[in-house]
Amino acid sequence: MAVRPTEFLRRHRVAVAAVTGALLLPALGACGGSDTSSGPASPSAAASASPTGRAPAANLTVLGAASLTDVFKQAGAAYEKEHPGTKVTFAGSQELASQVKQGAPADALVTADTKTMDGLKGETNDPTVIARNRLVIATAPGNPHKIGSLKDLADSKIKVVLAAPEVPAGRYSKEVLDQQGITVTPVSQEPNVRAALSKVELGEADAALVYKTDAASAQGKVDAVEIPDDQNAIASYPAATLKSTKNAAAAAAFVKWLSSPQAQQILRQAGFQQP
């Protein structure tokens, strides 16, 4: 049957539209704005979509308060096991502020008080408190001087050692003694809390104000006399990455991990309290 000219033109237009639509569909799928777009991802999206979903391997150096020395050895080992290829080196010190300001090569920082961290705002990213601690009175095994409270430390017959007031443990000690109106004349003021503890361990002092975790680390070498909560001070441990780090992603992953259930369990077992 013959096709009229007008019918032929109509069929031609339909065929062209169908072919054109078929050609346009792949292009629209590639450049469309839908959530399922298969276009190239942004650099950050590509990084977060890595096959392993893990932080990049790196050699991390963490500067931390001396009271964290033992527990961070355990934490670092646990982190390395969970993140193959990463090495965590912990440098325990109470001179953290000066080290950071002098440009010590490090990736993260954990202090034993918020004051030290606050003084380093220009060098650190936003901190997160990962643990808390309290003071106890460390004595020789068996507590031969029968020290039972803070007021007993005012006895001139008892050789007391304190951490220097420039370091967190020293500031906390001064705070609790001042609040109770107790005057203590220490035989020495040590550069960090571990040095104060060591004096008692060696028999060079009868008592020292140290963190509960420090006394626990020397179990069998010292006894610990608890200080009531209403007479005590709470030590907060904030952690932050350093702005100068060359391992930003790996350092941030480690600091975040410190708040994970696994890290928190390690801290609890060492005597630290929840943040």
Task: Give the CATH number for residue 219.
Answer: 3.40.190.10
Q: What is the mean pLDDT of residues 176-182?
A: 97
Residues 197 and 254 in one domain: no
Residue 22 lies in a domain: no
* 273: DSSP letter: B
Residue 14 lies in a domain: no
Amino acid (1-letter code) at residue 72:
F
Q: How far apart are CA 17 and CA 25, in angstroms?
A: 12
Residues 121 and 246 in one domain: yes
pLDDT band at residue 91 under the 50/70/90 scheme? confident
Pairing relationship of beta strands 108-110 and 234-241 according to DSSP bridges? antiparallel
Residue 13 pLDDT exceeds 60:
no
Residues 244 and 109 in one domain: yes
Residue 39 pLDDT exceeds 80:
no
Residue 275 lies in a domain: no
Residues 117 and 241 in one domain: yes
Domain enclosing residue 125, as ranges: 55-132+235-269
Residue 78 lies in a domain: yes
Residues 89 and 117 in one domain: yes
Q: What is the mean pLDDT of residues 147-176?
A: 96
Residues 203 and 91 in one domain: no
Contacts of 275 (CB under 8 A, 6+ apart): 128, 129, 130, 131, 132, 236, 237, 259
Residues 176 and 197 in one domain: yes
pLDDT > 90 fraction of the chain, expressed in percent and rounded = 73
Amino acid (1-letter code) at residue 54:
R
Residues 141 and 175 in one domain: yes
What is the predicted pLDDT for the residue at 101? 85
What is the predicted pLDDT for the residue at 92? 75
Lowest mean pLDDT among 17-21, 51-55, 85-89, 151-155: 17-21
Angle at which helices 193-201 and 168-179 pack, to 10 degrees?
80
Residue 264 lies in a domain: yes
Residues 156 and 210 in one domain: yes
Angle at 191 between CA 164 and CA 233, to 5 degrees: 45
Residues 217 and 182 in one domain: yes
Report the number of distinct structural domains present in the chain. Answer: 2
Residues 142 and 226 in one domain: yes
pLDDT band at residue 94 under the 50/70/90 scheme? low
Residue 50 pLDDT exceeds 60:
no
